[in-house]
Amino acid sequence: DIQMTQSPSSLSASVGDRVTITCRASQGISNYLAWYQQKPGTVPQLLIYAASTLQSGVPSRFSGSGSGTDFTLTISSLQPEDVATYYCQKSNSAPWTFGQGTKVEIK
């Protein structure tokens, strides 16, 4: 099975900072990559699908890029409400494996 590896596992940044999270697949998955945000105590929400398509209602400070094996989620200007754990997930074929998550905190 294809493994998904996120880095870093956690980060602390200041409000207004640009934040980048990476996700690497152990084999190519084209653009079958989604990003989810899970705020503390809440249900995960879809942020981005097809590697770079922003889900409806998601702020434009979030963006995704990549194809093949290497992907990034960028928050252009970190806001206090972005404190959450972010997960990537492959969806080219079963199993739809998640990355281990990246916890984002405010410095």
Partner 1 sequence: EVQLVESGGGLVKPGGSLRLSCTASGFTFSNAWMNWVRQAPGKGLEWVGRIKSKTDGGTTDYAAPVKGRFTFSRDDSKNTLYLQMNSLKAEDTAVYYCTTGAWVYYAMDVWGQGTTVTVSS
Please give the DSSP secondary-structure letter assigned to residue 70: E
* Alpha-carbon torsion (66, 69, 70, 73), positive or negative: positive
In the list 21, 23, 37, 49, the residue contacting partner 1 (rule: CB under 8 A) is 49
Q: Of 17-25, 42-50, 62-70, 74-82, which part binds partner 1 (CB under 8 A)? A: 42-50
Q: How many residues interact with partner 1 (rule CB under 8 A)? A: 26
> CA–CA separation, 105 vs 83, rounded Å?
5
State which of positions 1-30 bind partner 1 (CB under 8 A): 1
CA dihedral 74, 75, 81, 86 (to 10 degrees): 10
Q: Of the candidates 34, 73, 78, 104, which one interacts with partner 1 according to CB under 8 A?
A: 34
Window contacting partner 1 (CB under 8 A); options: 17-25, 59-67, 73-81, 90-98:
90-98
Please, are residues 29 and 69 in contact by the beta-carbon 8 Å criterion?
yes
* Alpha carbon distance, N-terminus to C-terminus of the chain: 37
In the bound complex, what is the minimum distance in angstroms from residue 45's beta carbon to partner 1?
A: 7
Residue 32 or 106 with smaller CB distance to partner 1: 32
